[in-house]
């Protein structure tokens, strides 16, 4: 008669492996048609916005057995600078000049580290630290965003980052022979819907 212990051991090992692998599933997510980006600023005349729905976001999400996000790796985001539009050609032209799009066509962020804080099984906060590259100047940046796992397993991520143009070697745009000047600080707001 075969030893029951010898029969059970491989079975138990398989169960342990299945549980371990299933408890921490890593899934790659990207933005396909769910990206909204708004750059907001001020001027001596009025506040202004530039908007874009173009760009790409990629990251790998790790989920525990309960389905909550426990880690994010490989996080990167890129958007064409000339996709940002204010609805006013003169403003766009000056903004593109400040962004130096002839030599630096993209605005991008690549995370070096991320920290996840779970609020519930479906809601979390992510702190991403990495390089935010604007106008060809990669600058260390910390971006904090909130995330939500939706019923269809897509993930919504929203957040905002205040930046100083001068930190990126940019000259704030001016208009009307310099009589209208934009402020140095702008806010980058994003709303992403990610899917597998």
CATH number of the domain enclosing 152? 2.40.128.110
Structure tokens at 49: 């916005």
Map tokens 């001020």 to a residue.
42
The overall average pLDDT reported for the chain is 89
Report pLDDT for 9.
53
Please give the tally of structural domains in the chain.
Answer: 1
Residue 44 binned pLDDT confidence (cut-offs 50, 70, 90): confident
Q: Judge whether residue 5 has pLDDT over 60.
A: no
Q: Quick check: is 178 in a domain?
A: yes
Q: Quick check: is 16 in a domain?
A: no
4-37 CB burial, b ≥16 within 10 A, e <16: eeeeeeeeeeeeeeeeeeeeeeeeebebeebbeb
Q: Judge whether residue 126 has pLDDT over 70.
A: yes
Report pLDDT for 176.
67
Instruction: State residue 165 phi and psi, 5-degree precision.
Output: -60, -40
Q: Quick check: is 165 in a domain?
A: yes
Give the domain extent around 38. 24-195
pTM: 0.84
């Amino acid at each position: 008669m075969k030893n029951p212990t010898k029969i059970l051991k491989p079975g138990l090992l398989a169960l342990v492996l299945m549980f371990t692998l299933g408890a921490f599933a890593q899934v790659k997510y990207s933005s396909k048609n769910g990206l909204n980006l708004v750059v907001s600023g001020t001027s001596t005349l009025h506040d202004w916005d530039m908007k874009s729905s173009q760009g790409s976001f990629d990251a790998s999400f790790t989920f525990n057995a309960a389905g909550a996000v426990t880690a994010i790796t490989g996080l990167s985001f890129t958007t064409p600078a000339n996709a940002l539009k204010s609805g006013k050609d003169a403003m766009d032209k000056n903004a593109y000049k400040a962004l130096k799009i002839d030599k630096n066509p993209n605005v991008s962020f690549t995370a070096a580290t991320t920290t996840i804080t779970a609020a519930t099984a479906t809601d979390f906060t992510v702190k991403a630290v990495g390089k935010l590259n604007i106008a060809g100047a990669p600058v260390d940046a910390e971006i904090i965003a909130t995330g939500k796992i939706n019923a269809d397993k897509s993930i919504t991520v929203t957040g905002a980052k205040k930046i100083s143009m001068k930190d990126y070697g940019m000259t704030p745009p001016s208009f009307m022979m310099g009589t209208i000047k934009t402020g140095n600080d702008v806010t980058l707001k994003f709303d992403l819907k990610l899917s597998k």
